[in-house]
Structure 1
Amino acid sequence: MLGIYRNMSLALLVSASVAWLVASTPALYQPIFGTPLKWVAILAPLAFVLVFSFRFEKMTLAGARIALFAFAGVMGISLASILLVFTGASIVMTLLVAAITFFAMSLWGYTTRADLTRYSTFLIMGLVGVVLASLANLFLQSGTLQLIVSIIGVLVFTGLTAWDTQRAKNDYLTYGATDHGEKLAVMSALSLYLNLVNIFQLLLTFFGQRVEEA
């Protein structure tokens, strides 16, 4: 688990560094977010995750790790828009709330004796619904729909955090430190990374203060 959290933390550091670099460099963010390229920045992480998932079994351990950090870099470009839209204080506060929520649920998932697999179907269906509704709202721009998606999304991703943590623990108990076990640990790091990032982004609906409102 320490290795998984380490990989997840490194991926978050990569994303934060790329996001800060893009957001603080007009020559980078203007061509991206001021043109139709913004759609590439928004949708690229989703495409990357799909490719990563479908090709995971064919990847080597080193390839899986490279893919994780490459994805973190792509995600950082997408997250740069947050630094441009919301105030620094509200971003820090939201990140703190998201981190506390994430680690509380992850700790519970690691220590609970309940089998969380029974909730997996509900969580996956919720995840698909949140993704589809979020994609639809990119075009609809409905404040009401965004609020509903944010509430449901936070519940879904906190549940996924507990489930993914328990699954990572069980994977280690099953495969140990084998190559396959190490690859699964990389996938677990990606899953937990996505859970935290999505909890953070969804909570911005409630805690984020836009720059023009400051």
Structure 2
Amino acid sequence: METKTTDYVYEDVSYVENADASRRFIANVFVWMFVALGLSAVCSYIFAFNPELSSLLRDPATGRNNIMGTVVMFSPLIFVLLFRVGFNKLPFIGLVLMFVAFSALMGISLSYIFFAYSVGTISSVFITTAVVFGVMAVGGYITHQDLTKFGSIMIMLLVGIIIASVLNLLILHSSGLDLIISYVGVAVFVGLTAYDVQKLKRIGAGLEYGDATASKMAIMGALTLYLDFINLFLMLLRVFGGNRR
């Protein structure tokens, strides 16, 4: 689930006051994002292929989540809400520890995909996601087109996807609608990637690199791009990972 972590308002994101500061800020954001993705990948793999750890989350006989598995699955959503509260109240190191814990829990909660899809499918979709994400991130960074209004449209579509997904899960149970949601979700998170990178570029230009605010904003920016990447990966997996185990 994608979330916005700041309410930064600006008029023209194509104008950058301090391009050098912006580049350093964006680089810091991506470093933290890569750390989070790496930690999530390791935790996901370990909890999927270590029987003892896997049994903590799922019943080995039925493959269904137990109470602990359900808690772990929904805990990342709680962390996202806590980030909003903790940004102003926690020191930088506290925010980092929460970010690391969130990344680990997200990875553990994603370990279920190894039971639904083959390793080959997951690997190929992950590589595809990385390429698409990278292209859109570069596009969002170098474009001179203001994506503010475009981003607002993407956020509205995201809300629609969430509502449609909940209705389909609880009431409709339509595989066709699920596929449509996945296609729309791919488009939304592709668009949000470009929008968020451009937004972070502008934010970074207005911060003094190295102070506490910039460091904490880098963590929040990494969280936003991490969520864009994970959601894009899951949507692409639903679209192209049709051959389930």
TM-score, with structure 1 as normaliser = 0.91
Deviation at 1:200, TM superposition (A): 0.6
Q: 2:240 aligns with which of 195, 207, 213?
A: 207
Residues 168 and 128 (structure 1 numbering): CA distance in 2 closer, same or farther, change over 3 Å? Answer: same
Residue 70 of structure 1 pairs with residue 96 of structure 2: no
Q: 2:206 aligns with which of 149, 164, 174?
A: 174
Aligned residue identity for 1:181: A
Aligned residue identity for 2:216: K
Deviation at 1:55, TM superposition (A): 2.6
Aligned residue identity for 2:122: I
Within 1, Cα distance between the matches of 2:78 and 2:168? 18
Within 2, Cα distance between the matches of 1:101 and 1:23? 26
- In structure 2, the residue matched to 1:185 is 218
Contact 2:183 2:239 in 1 (8 A): no
Residues 151 and 72 (structure 1 numbering): CA distance in 2 closer, same or farther, change over 3 Å? Answer: same
- In structure 1, the residue matched to 2:186 is 154
Within 1, Cα distance between the matches of 2:55 and 2:229? 27
Aligned residue identity for 1:129: G
Within 1, Cα distance between the matches of 2:243 and 2:84? 34
Residues 203 and 181 (structure 1 numbering): CA distance in 2 closer, same or farther, change over 3 Å? Answer: same
3-state SS of paired residue (2:95): helix
Q: 1:121 aligns with which of 131, 146, 152?
A: 152
3-state SS of paired residue (1:32): coil
Residues 25 and 190 (structure 1 numbering): CA distance in 2 closer, same or farther, change over 3 Å? Answer: same
5+ long unaligned stretches in structure 1: none
Q: Determine which structure has greater relative contact order: mean sequence separation of CA pairs < 8 Å that are 6+ residues apart, divided by chain length.
A: 2
- In structure 2, the residue matched to 1:133 is 164
Within 1, Cα distance between the matches of 2:123 and 2:204? 33
- In structure 2, the residue matched to 1:35 is 65
Q: 2:123 aligns with which of 64, 89, 92?
A: 92
Q: Deviations over 1:85-111 (max 9, x none)?
A: 110111111011111110100000000
- In structure 2, the residue matched to 1:14 is 39
Contact 1:93 1:207 in 2 (8 A): no
Within 1, Cα distance between the matches of 2:138 and 2:165? 28
Deviation at 1:121, TM superposition (A): 2.1
Contact 2:44 2:110 in 1 (8 A): yes
Deviation at 1:134, TM superposition (A): 3.1
Deviation at 1:152, TM superposition (A): 1.2
Deviation at 1:209, TM superposition (A): 4.8
Residues 120 and 205 (structure 1 numbering): CA distance in 2 closer, same or farther, change over 3 Å? Answer: same
Within 1, Cα distance between the matches of 2:160 and 2:85? 20
Taking every aligned residue pair, what percent have the same amino acid on both sides?
Answer: 35
Q: Whose Rg is larger?
A: 2
Within 2, Cα distance between the matches of 1:190 and 1:183? 11
Contact 1:94 1:207 in 2 (8 A): yes
Within 2, Cα distance between the matches of 1:93 and 1:120? 28
Within 1, Cα distance between the matches of 2:50 and 2:191? 37
Deviation at 1:28, TM superposition (A): 2.2
Contact 1:87 1:209 in 2 (8 A): no
Contact 2:86 2:95 in 1 (8 A): no
Count how many residue pairs are aligned between Structure 1 and Structure 2: 212
5+ long unaligned stretches in structure 2: 1-25, 59-63
